[in-house]
Each structure stands twice: as C-alpha cells, then as structure tokens.
Amino acid sequence: MTRALISHDPLPGDAPLPAIDMSAELAGLRLPSPVLTASGCAAAGRELDQFVDITELGAIVTKSVKLNPQSGRPTPRMAETPSGMLNSIGLQGPGIDRFIEHDLAWLVDRGARTIVSIAGGSVDEYGKLAARLRLTRGISAIEVNISCPNVESRGQVFACAPDSAAAVIQAVRRHSDPRMPILAKLSPDVTDIVEIAGAVVRAGATGVSVINTLLGMVIDIDTMRPHLAGVTGGLSGPAIRPVAVRCVWQIRQAFPDLPILGMGGIRSGRDALEFVLAGANAVSVGTAIFHDPSAPARIHTELHRALVERGFSSLSQAVSYAHRGPDVVEVDDGLDFIAE
C-alpha cells in the first residue's frame, strides 16, 4: 500500500503549485502543516500511518485517555445522520500507563508530533493524568477534553460551566511542566462559548480546541426506541461545520491573540480555509478520516492551493482574515466609500 504524501505537484490539468509557507504557529509550537487529526478519529496514529505519512501532519491528537482502562459504551454506538454521524463510543481505551508504554512510545519512535488528549471524571483525575504525563517525554502539547460528565457533580459536563471548566484546567496546569502547551477542548453545547473560553484562559490554558461534538439523538422508528444503546451521542461531520466556524469566529473576536485549533466537519481544503479565515491557527480533521483515511494529507494540499489562488504567500497571513475591516474602494471624486 502506498502512503498519501502531502503533494506539491499539480493535479492533472492544474497549474504548478508555488511554494508558500504552510507552517502553523499554535500555542508556541511551530508545525510544518496546519492540518492535525482530531481526537478519537485516528486512535494513536498507527492505522492512519498506512495511508498518510503521519510525520508530515501538523500533529496526531490522540484519542482521549483516562487514568484507568475503559471498555466504552454498549453497542450500537454509531448512527448515520444527514451530513454527519452520531457516536456514543464512550472513552474506550487502555488507561494512561498502557497508553504511554504502547501508543506514545510508538508515536515518539515514529517521529510524529503528538498532542495527548486526556479525559477524567473528576478534577482530581485530570490532575493525576497531567502529573503522569509530566514524567513522560515526547509530548508536544496536552489537549484537555472537558466534555466529560463530572461524577462528583450529578454528571454535569465540565465544559458546560465556566467554574468546572476552569477547575479542570487549573488542575492540569498545576501538575504540568509550566512550559507545556495546554489546549482546552470546548463544547458547543453552551449558551456562551466565549465565557467558557475566558474561564479556561484565566485558569491557565495556552489555547483552545473548538469544537467537540454536539449532543444529539436518533430514534429508530422500527423498534420505536433510541437507536444508540447510550441513548444520546455526539454529532460530528459537515452538519456541524457552520456551528464550529461560528464558535471559532466568536472566540477570535473576543481574544485576538489566543491560539485556536479549529475543527468540525472539515472535509476539504476549502472547508479548512473557512476555519483559518474565521481565526483558527490550525485545524483538526476527524469524521472525514473514516471514509477517506488520506484526508489529512489531501486537505493540506487543497488548502495550499486555495491559499495560492487567493494570493496569500503564507498560511499565517490568512489567519483571521475574515475579521478585517470593510474594504475601502477609491472613487474618482477623491472620497472613499465603503463597499457594500
């Protein structure tokens, strides 16, 4: 099997693609590509590496890992939805020790940049995970999945309240190397995502990852029961892209310098460009990988082309470009008017 490489060659019939600076600056990291994987959609990169040279990607964001091994939710745990999918996998995984020995060791050996996603049921569990990672080498950043039920607070999801979101980030920050970039992964299922972003930044997050899945549900009209054994699940894929772009836009408007990793339904370079223009410094690709494992490399090349076509000479020039002021058009009478 041949791996898809990030291509600088023209597609048949296309003009050659001039080289531009496609590197991304995210939370103090200099990444050779702005395209990363999304947590839970490429496991720990091993299977994906058969299709894409994972060392060429911005980074692999690993499946959220908990302190102890987890078997995940009962089946069925996937459902197709219009322009998307619903999953209730739960945080199935080997637990942090096995993850470090088996998955992280492989990623480090392979030479891939790795962002480790962690998840917990209590603030204390997040702190313990961070302390465990502090002793571990080869990690570029920690992504903190706060879309988990707080077992100490009637199962309320940490990401849905500023106080609980901040408490988790504070614990992770306290137990981490002070130089370790920490990305707080936010949920769109809130009234005001800017308020949550502010809370996690004040608590010590270096940046934010936006967005996690939206809570959804499908009823099977034959059995006349919920389709998923877990009843509700996370909606992902193109259906959520406008919500994700809106979240990135709102956070960028409130925090002009905050590192933002954008995601939600990215299937093509044009989709990725939308996120970049809205304010994302880099993007993650999730659901698209399930039907096209070479998607992250293809999306890098398509984004490169889309930037060149619009006259950008680097990715960083395009970040937040949609926030610029109105275009001012010169007219003959010497007065400027604002284009409609």
The nearer residue to ligand FMN, 84 or 127, going by C-beta atoms, is 84
- 89 forms part of the interface with ligand FMN (CB under 6 A): yes
Q: Are 78 and 127 in contact (CB under 8 A)?
A: no
Which of 188, 233, 264, 296 is close enough to bind ligand FMN by CB under 6 A? 264
- Main-chain dihedrals φ then ψ at residue 145, nearest 5 degrees: -80, 105
Q: Which stretch binds ligand FMN (CB under 6 A): 25-33, 155-163, 200-208, 263-271?
A: 263-271
Left (φ > 0), alpha (ψ -120 to 50) or beta: where does 111 sit?
left
Contacts of 320 (CB under 8 A, 6+ apart): 252, 256, 277, 278, 279
Residue nearest to ligand FMN (CB): 40
Report, in angstroms and rounded to the nearest whole number, the Rg of the chain calculated over CA atoms. Answer: 20
- 145 forms part of the interface with ligand FMN (CB under 6 A): yes
Smallest gap from Cβ 325 to ligand FMN, in A, equals: 31
Which of 216, 259, 265, 293 is close enough to bind ligand FMN by CB under 6 A? 265
β-sheet bridge partners, residue 283: 35, 262
Structure token digits, residue 184: 């707080």
Report the candidate in 105, 99, 113, 37 with the shortest Cα–Cα distance to residue 68.
Answer: 99
Report the candidate in 136, 297, 275 with the shortest Cα–Cα distance to residue 209.
Answer: 275
- 213 forms part of the interface with ligand FMN (CB under 6 A): yes
Q: Which stretch binds ligand FMN (CB under 6 A): 2-10, 68-76, 175-183, 259-267?
A: 259-267
- 296 forms part of the interface with ligand FMN (CB under 6 A): no
Spatial distance between the Cα atoms of 287 and 266, rounded to a whole number of angstroms: 8
- 237 forms part of the interface with ligand FMN (CB under 6 A): yes
Instruction: Determine the size of the site formed for ligand FMN (CB under 6 A).
Output: 26
Cis peptide before 188 (omega within 30 of 0): no
Smallest gap from Cβ 264 to ligand FMN, in A, equals: 4
- 66 forms part of the interface with ligand FMN (CB under 6 A): no
Report the candidate in 261, 270, 157 with the shortest Cα–Cα distance to residue 215.
Answer: 157
Spatial distance between the Cα atoms of 266 and 299, rounded to a whole number of angstroms: 9
- 117 forms part of the interface with ligand FMN (CB under 6 A): yes
Structure token digits, residue 69: 């091994």
- 269 forms part of the interface with ligand FMN (CB under 6 A): no
Q: Binders of ligand FMN among 148-207, rule CB under 6 A?
A: 185
Q: Are 164 and 144 in contact (CB under 8 A)?
A: no
- 88 forms part of the interface with ligand FMN (CB under 6 A): no
Smallest gap from Cβ 208 to ligand FMN, in A, equals: 12
Could you confirm whether 148 is annotated as catalytic? yes
- 266 forms part of the interface with ligand FMN (CB under 6 A): yes
Binding site for ligand FMN (CB under 6 A): 38-41, 63-64, 87, 89, 91, 117, 145, 185, 212-213, 234, 236-237, 240, 263-266, 285-288
Active-site residue list? 148
